[in-house]
Amino acid sequence: MLNLVANNSMVPEHDAVPGRITAGPSGRKPRRKLSRRNIIVYGTLIVVALYYLLPLYVMIATSLKGMPEIRVGNIFAPPLEITFEPWVKAWAEACTGLNCDGLSRGFWNSVRITVPSVIISIAVASVNGYALANWRFKGAELFFTILVVGAFIPYQVMIYPIVIVLREMGVYGTLTGLVIVHTIFGMPILTLLFRNYFAGLPEELFKAARVDGAGFWTIYFKIMLPMSLPIFVVAMILQVTGIWNDFLFGVVFTRPEYYPMTVQLNNIVNSVQGVKEYNVNMAATILTGAVPLVVYFVSGRLFVRGIAAGAVKG
């Protein structure tokens, strides 16, 4: 009931509104911390979080138990006596059916596969994406379309022809061959990633560099590269986890002595001979998952950006 209608002149405040209206809502809206909505939201999220964390917990707990304790206890119980023996065994002694020197061999194989694959695939794809974004030539879009569509073709369709090509090149079964395969199959997503990123940079920057007389490589190294560190990190995360986690290419394209860690892990756990040592298996599983997990926890938001970029169309 504010009395402002009668005339246009200012109404002295104390006439109509004596100080503050004491009755009725005033000030900050009261908010209950434990509203029904909050209970539902946080309750659900916490239950879901537990579901996601459970396997990790069970993995770690099991890997720290001795076999007798596993046989009598339940898998959710925390270890009574912590032992690191399963870890040592998984790393250095576990048998894969062929030999018994544990996962360490697979780990180093994976390193020798991942490092060159990541570097080469990113180098090739970034230059390629740059050419596509800024130096379009006739037919480029056609090849690019084939490449991106090819990303959806099941690997199984192309595996055997690649075996033949690699055999002709004399690198079938070697690390070099596997690096080539990773470069090939990383190309669609990485090229898309870099093309979109470079195309998103202001085109005028590229034009300015051209007026300044810079050519293809000068613009790439002097202008584009320094501006693109985040996307290179994203690409690295994408590739390190992807290549480290690969199983199929490792099985198909390498000889047993070059098997990556995932293949070795599977051989250790799923080999039928002998007594199943669940604690060793879980230790081996954690060891194999450790590298991508570390990358994930360290890179955090960039990882999310990476997979989102990898997943969203161009």
Partner 1 sequence: MTALTRGSGRPNQWLRNLNAKIASIPMILTAVVIFLGGTIWTVVYSFTNSKLLPRLSFVGLDQYERLWAAPRWIISIQNLAVYGFLSLIFSLVIGFVLAALMDQKIRFENTFRTIMLYPFALSFIVTGLVWQWLLNPQFGIQSIVRSLGWTSFSFDPLYDADIVIYGILIAALWQGTGLVMCLMLAGLRGIDEDIWKAARVDGIPMWKTYVLIIIPMMRGVFITTLVIIASGIVKVYDLVVAQTSGGPGIASEVPAKYVYDYMFQAQNLGQGFAASTMMLITVAIIIVPWAYLEFGGGRKRA
Partner 2 sequence: MTSVSVRDLSLNFGAVTVLDRLNLDIDHGEFLVLLGSSGCGKSTLLNCIAGLLDVSDGQIFIKDRNVTWEEPKDRGIGMVFQSYALYPQMSVEKNLSFGLQVAKIPQAEIDKRVKRASEILQIQPLLKRKPSELSGGQRQRVAIGRALVRDVDVFLFDEPLSNLDAKLRSELRVEIKRLHQSLKNTMIYVTHDQIEALTLADRIAVMKSGVIQQLADPMTIYNAPENLFVAGFIGSPSMNFFRGEVEAKDSRSFVRVNDVAFDVTSYPARTRLHPGQKVVLGLRPEHVKVDEATESHEVHPATVDIEEPMGADNLLWLTLAGQSMSVRIAGQRRYPPGSTVRLSFDMAVASIFDAASENRL
Task: Name the β-bridge partners of 173.
Answer: 254
Q: Is 131 in the site for partner 1 (CB under 8 A)?
A: yes
Tell me the window of 7-15, 82-90, 93-101, 285-293 that interacts with partner 1 (CB under 8 A). Answer: 285-293
Element (H, E) at 37: helix 36-63
Q: How far is the CB of 232 from partner 2 (least distance, A)?
A: 14
User: Which is nearer to partner 1, 132 or 175 (by Cβ)?
Assistant: 132
| Cβ contact 65:279 at 8 Å | yes
| C-beta closer to partner 2: residue 163 or 233 | 233
Which residues ranging from 43 to 82 are in contact with partner 1 (CB under 8 A)? 44-45, 48-49, 51-56, 58-59, 62, 70-71, 74-76
244 touches partner 1 (CB under 8 A)? yes
Burial class (CB within 10 angstroms; exposed 0-12, middle 13-18, buried 19+) of 51: exposed
- Cβ neighbour number for residue 144 with a 10 Å cutoff: 20
- DSSP, residue by residue, 281-301: HHHHHHHHHHHHHHHHHHHTH
**What, of partner 2, partner 1, none, does residue 227 touch, CB below 5 to 8 Å by kind?**
partner 2
Residues 181-200 that bind partner 1 (CB under 8 A): 183-184, 187, 191, 196, 199
Least distance between partner 1 and beta carbon 112 (Å): 18
Contact 94, 100 (CB under 8 A): yes
Q: Does 135 bind partner 1 (CB under 8 A)?
A: yes
Site for partner 2 in 141-170 (CB under 8 A): none
139 binds partner 2 (CB under 8 A): no
> Which positions from 221 to 260 touch partner 2 by CB under 8 A, shown as an x/- string?
-xx--xx---------------------------------
Tokens encoding 144: 């690019």
90 touching partner 1, by CB under 8 A:
no
Dihedral sign from CA coordinates of 22, 25, 29, 31: positive
Residue 96, interface with partner 1 (CB under 8 A)? no
- At residue 65, the 3 state secondary structure works out as coil
Q: Please give the DSSP secondary-structure letter assigned to residue 254.
A: B
